[in-house]
Amino acid sequence: MNPRRKKRLIMTGGILAGFALATGLVLYALSQNIDLFYTPTEIVEGKGSDKTLPEVGQRLRIGGLVVPGSVRREGSGLSVAFNLVDVGPAEVTVEYEGILPDLFREGQGIVAQGTLVAPNRIKASQVLARHDEEYMPPALAEALKGIQHVPPSQWQVEDDENTNEDDESSGGYYDR
């Protein structure tokens, strides 16, 4: 390679390496702020190496799996409360008034945005559902995971009495 090209190659390589290093350092410094949500464990035990606890009154997002059997409807309205867990044993209660996404089920991954009203209690203004990266037809899911296919219209429980049995039949999936 002729010397001028070699020089240009080294220079462009150097610029690229410099930018990569700078971006890497920025992302490393911001790493915890780039997380979309706190996990229940991080809310209860603190986040990061210095175990910073979020303050009561702080607006935040929480992401975790809906604890089976923890969904409680209050009255006949849209009010609902449920617990979220990740690796356990820490659980955080989420209160929400509004329409839940179709994928909301016990065992499902959920991201809720709201205000921390007590050290382990969040009043949510928005509840989003996560789903995993696995795709399969219903028959295979039944054979593989024992999940009965239930059409979306029946995923959500209508009243308090049959909360548990209804949701167990819809098969909470919490493999994540």
Stretch 115-144 residues interacting with other proteins (CB under 8 A): 126-142
Candidates 3, 75, 146, 151: give the one binding other proteins (CB under 8 A): 151
- Taking the complex as a whole, how short is the minimal distance between the CB of residue 94 and other proteins, in angstroms? 14
| Residues 66 and 82: beta-carbon distance below 8 Å | yes
Q: Which residues of 30-45 are buried (b: 16+ CB within 10 A; e: fewer)?
A: eeeeeeebbbbbbbbe
What is the total count of residues that contact other proteins (CB under 8 A)?
A: 44
CA distance 90 to 13: 48
Site for other proteins in 23-82 (CB under 8 A): 23, 27, 31, 34-37, 39, 63
Q: Contacting other proteins (CB under 8 A), which of 101, 120, 123, 168?
A: 101
Bridging pattern class, strands 72-73 and 79-85: antiparallel
CA–CA–CA angle 102, 104, 107 (5° rounding): 145
Q: Which is nearer to other proteins, 22 or 117 (CB)?
A: 22
Provide the 3-class DSSP secondary structure of residue 117.
strand
**Contact residues: other proteins, CB under 8 A:** 5, 8-9, 12, 15-16, 19-20, 23, 27, 31, 34-37, 39, 63, 100-103, 111, 126-142, 147, 149, 151-152, 173
